[in-house]
Structure 1
Amino acid sequence: MFGGEVWGGIFCLSVFGSLLAGASFSLFFSHWFQAKVHYLVTLCAAILLTVMLVDIVPHSLSTYNSLSVIGGMLVGLPIIASLDHFSHKRIRGD
């Protein structure tokens, strides 16, 4: 009866906890080690890219049609790039 709601709540709490832990780690890393957060962002991007290339993309290719996966990437990447461009443009005030 409450299975989906409970798992949804657990998922939301785990995402929130992960974001909180990442922000705390970033503050700790930048304050105590006097390092730039850019290094931490580079490390996280490398981990995410590795997970995508090693786990998510091969699983998607084995589950779905390869043309659909490639089409999704070709549509999704320009959308994400344009959102990133417009959001940073708006923040900088250009």
Structure 2
Amino acid sequence: MAGRGRSCTASLGNNPITMLIQYSDDKHYTAVYFYDKHRKAIPLSGDLKNNQLEFTETNPDPEGKNYKMELKLKDGVLSGVWIGKKNYPVQLQLP
């Protein structure tokens, strides 16, 4: 199955990020995001469950933890929470 994707600007907490989301017909998603200031790619893998995108970072932190992002679509905006050592709001504006 050929993947399709979208690039969008976003915020994670107070930090601007850019995110590219790739999806396939079977509701599996991959993504990569980076903080605009640092520009280091952070890969994600996830699924659509109960109208919610649930992503997990695929590269664990030095302690071996994989952080998560849970997002819901409403009125062309994906919003939700990044779950890690602290939780931060996430908002992505789709083009």
By the TM > 0.5 criterion, same fold? no
Whichever structure has more strand as a proportion of its residues is: 2
Which interval holds the TM-score relative to the shorter structure?
Answer: under 0.3
**Largest Rg, 1 or 2:** 1
